[in-house]
Each structure stands twice: as structure tokens, then as C-alpha cells.
Amino acid sequence: MLRPPSSWDDAEVARAFVAGDELALAEAYRRWSAFVHTLALRSLRDHTDAEDATQQVFVNAWRGRGGFDIARGPLAAWLTGITKTVVADSFARRARHQRDTRAAVATIIPMVDADTVAVADRLLVADEMTRLGEPQRTILALAFWEDLTHDQISERLDLPLGTVKSHIRRSLLRLRSRLEVDHAASGA
């Protein structure tokens, strides 16, 4: 009679995992997902990002299971290494998002100096935002005023990620065009 995966020792789970046994994947997740989630949460400091990272770790591990060598160490240690990589990728994504957001805002709002935005321009942007339809207005508000990532907006609004990105790009271009017209008309 076969023993259930929950009775396997860690080495048995690792061997079955490498062999492509989906029961071993489920057992590895049961045993180590809380550990992986805790590592991700401590680094990322966001529950949603930590949940995404945990899922990504196990997806990456399953896809790359052929690269795991039982002789080099336990499966838990290998998962820890994958977690570090996924967390680093998440930080890089955040940095790109912040850089892209700053660049987008810089094209919309002319700066008086490096730290101060003209009050009139802020009012103009707020007025133009009210002219955007839904869901564009909500998406931009979440991106710029709540500082959510595209992934977080997608999840919150239950929209595909590509749709969120498209709405942001089109809305920013529309706002930029309106602001350029307004500045040309006012002689700014």
C-alpha cells in the first residue's frame, strides 16, 4: 500500500518533486508555502505582493525542478534561493514602476522646480482628470494618488493587466495633449 505524501520525509518529497509527481508539488506547497510567504512578506512588506511572490516561487520551482540537485541540499533551501530571486525581481519591478510613474507625471505636470509643482497646474490636472471617463479616471487615481502598481490596480478592479496598462497610457497621452493645448492657449 502506498503511503500518503503527508507521511513522506523531506527527501522523499524532494525526489518525487524532481520526478514530476504533482502530489509532491502539493506536499511541498503544504510544507513550505508559509515559510516562503513569511520570507517574502518580511522583505516586501505587502501581503498581496508576498502572496504573489509565494505563488511565483512554486511556479518557478516546478518549472525548473530539473535544475534541483538533491545532493546539493534540501528542497526547502532551494525554495529559499528562489524566494530571494523572486523578491529581488519584485523590487526591480517596483523601481521600474516608480521611475515610469515619475516620468509620466513629469510629462503631464510642468515643474516649477525639482520639488514644487505650480498650484494652477495641479488644479488643471485635477480638472482634466474629472473629464476622463471610467474606468480611466479610477485607474489613474489609484496609480498616482494611492501609488498602486499596475498589478494591484488590475486585482482591485478585476481588470486584465494589459487593459489597465492600456488605459493608463491612453489617459496620460490624452491628459498631456489637453495640458499642452491649455498651456499654448494661456501663453505659458
Q: What is the pLDDT of residues 32-54, one digit of tens each?
A: 999 999 999 999 988 989 999 99
Report d(CA 40, CA 167) in Å as an integer.
30
Query: The C-alpha cell of 19 is what?
Result: 520526478
Query: The C-alpha cell of 28 is what?
Result: 511541498
Residues of the chain with CATH 1.10.10.10: 109-186
pLDDT tens-place string over residues 130-181: 777 788 888 877 887 778 888 898 888 888 888 888 888 888 887 777 767 6
Query: What pLDDT is stored for residue 186 in this prediction?
Result: 57
The mean of the pLDDT values for the chain is 83
Query: Does the pLDDT at position 56 exceed 60?
Result: yes
Query: Does the pLDDT at position 29 exceed 70?
Result: yes
For the four alpha carbons of 141, 88, 63 and 9, in that order, the dihedral sign comes to negative
- CA dihedral of 109, 185, 166, 97, whole degrees rounded to 10: -10
CATH 3.30.300.10 describes domain 109-186: no
Query: The C-alpha cell of 156 is what?
Result: 482591485
Provide mean pLDDT across the span 58-63.
Answer: 96
| More confidently predicted of 137 and 67 | 67
Residues of the chain with CATH 1.10.1740.10: 5-92
Query: What pLDDT is stored for residue 52 in this prediction?
Result: 93
- Among 37, 67, 63, 66, CA closest to 52: 37
Report pTM. 0.57
Query: What pLDDT is stored for residue 96 in this prediction?
Result: 83
| More confidently predicted of 113 and 72 | 72
Provide mean pLDDT across the span 86-94.
Answer: 90
Percent of the chain with pLDDT over 70: 80
Report d(CA 127, CA 3) in Å as an integer.
66
- In the chain, alpha helices (H): 10-18, 22-44, 47-63, 75-108, 119-131, 136-144, 150-157, 161-186
Query: What pLDDT is stored for residue 69 in this prediction?
Result: 95
Give the Cα-Cα-Cα angle 148, 151, 156 (nearest 5 degrees).
70
Query: Does the pLDDT at position 30 exceed 70?
Result: yes
Query: What pLDDT is stored for residue 82 in this prediction?
Result: 97
Residue with cell string 541540499? 73
Q: So what CATH class is 5-92?
A: mainly alpha
